[in-house]
Structure formats: C-alpha cells, structure tokens
C-alpha cells in the first residue's frame, strides 16, 4: 500500500490547495484528528485533511474527495463524517481514482489496487472493474456538480 511517507507531499498539497483544502501532517504515533476509521486513516475537519506518514495515499484522496464534493459553506461544519448519500460516496470513490491519476508517483491504477487491498467492495469485484464498467452514475454526479468535465478531466 502506498503511504504518504513514500511521496513528496508537495504535489498532494498543491492538488488539495487547488480545491481550497489544506493537508496537515500529524506526528507519527499521534491520533489523527477527524479520522472516521481511526488508526492510520486520514481525517477531515473543516477544509483540512489530516494524515500521518503511514496514512495510505488512497485514504488521503478519499477524505479530500469528501470535502471537494461539498460546497465551501458545508465544509466548515464537517468533522469526521461528510457523506450525505450513497451517490455522493460513489462520486467520492470515483474522484479519488481520478485525483490519484494526477499525482506523480501515484496514478489511478495504484489507487485502485490499494482500494482493493484496503477492502473496498464493488459489485464487479474490484475498483478497476467498477471504475471502467459500472461507475457511470458516479461520473455523471461529478459532471452535474461541475467537478469533472464531460471528457472526464477534473475541474
């Protein structure tokens, strides 16, 4: 599993900043504020994503995705859990894969492999199969919310 410590975080910080988000590094061994899953999983509070060096990159991208899909006025009240619906959760999963593709040393394929290793479950058996063959509704949600272009590029 690709961890935050495996990367130069400048690219992730720049990507998050593009969406008005901040990445705060938590010291090794410290509890991660706003982590829904605990342990090494990323956390969210307001417009900030919290992570340690041992936090999986896909977790950082997933939690960032939760904040990206929210309008800024809703972000302010977020603490730990940001999901509003299944459609929104699906959109976040799709977005984390797209965002991974924008990061040097990461890539969409690696994000999907790590999602599978973490235990995400999709009807078609893998993140890749879902992304390529069963995620039209998630993609449409992101396009409708002006987070992806019709060509599939992030806004």
Distance linking the first and last C-alpha atoms of the chain? 27
Do both 12 and 64 map to the same domain?
yes
Please state the φ and ψ torsions of residue 133, each to the nearest 5 degrees. Answer: -130, -10
Whether residues 29 and 48 fall in one domain: yes
Quote the pLDDT of residue 154: 87
> What's residue 15's pLDDT?
97
Q: What is the mean pLDDT of each run of 10 residues along the chain (155 residues)?
A: 95 96 97 94 97 98 96 90 89 97 96 94 88 96 94 85
Residue 142 is predicted with a pLDDT of: 97
Looking at the structure, do residues 14 and 69 belong to the same domain, yes or no?
A: yes
So what's the pLDDT on residue 131? Answer: 96
Residues 50 and 28 in one domain: yes
- Domain co-membership, 23 together with 69: yes
Do 53 and 109 reside in the same domain of the chain?
A: no
Nearest-5° angle of CA 129, CA 85, CA 88? 50
Residue span of the structural domain in which 11 resides: 4-75
What's the pLDDT at 122? 81
What's the CA gap between 118 and 59, in Å, rounded?
9
Task: Provide the pLDDT for residue 58.
Answer: 98
**pTM score, two decimals?**
0.95
pLDDT at 83: 79
Separation CA 144–CA 102 (nearest Å): 21
DSSP letters spanning the chain? --BGGGS-THHHHHHHHHTT-EEEEPPTTSPPTTBSS-TT--EEETTEEEE-TTSBHHHHHHHHHHHHTS-HHHHTT-BS-----HHHHHHHHHHHHHHHHTSTTT-HHHHHHHHHHHT---TTSSHHHHHHHT-HHHHHHHHHTTSB-TTS-B-
Q: 152 lies in a domain?
A: no
The total domain count for the chain is 2
Would you say 88 and 141 are in contact if contact means Cβ atoms under 8 Å apart? yes
Residues 20 and 44 in one domain: yes
């Amino acid at each position: 599993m690709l961890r935050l410590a495996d990367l130069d975080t400048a690219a992730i910080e720049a990507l998050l900043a593009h969406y008005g988000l901040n990445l705060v590094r938590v010291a090794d061994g410290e509890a991660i504020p706003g982590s829904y899953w605990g342990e090494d999983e990323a956390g969210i509070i307001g417009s900030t994503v919290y992570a340690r060096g041992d936090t999986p990159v896909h977790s950082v991208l997933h939690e960032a995705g939760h904040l990206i899909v929210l309008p800024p006025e809703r972000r302010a009240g977020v603490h730990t859990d940001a999901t509003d619906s299944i459609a929104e959760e699906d959109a976040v999963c799709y977005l984390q894969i797209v965002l991974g593709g924008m990061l040097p040393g990461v890539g969409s394929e690696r994000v999907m492999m790590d999602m599978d290793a973490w235990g995400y479950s999709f009807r078609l058996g893998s993140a890749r199969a879902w992304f390529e063959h069963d995620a039209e509704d998630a993609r449409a949600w992101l396009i409708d919310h002006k987070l992806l272009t019709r060509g599939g590029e992030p806004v």
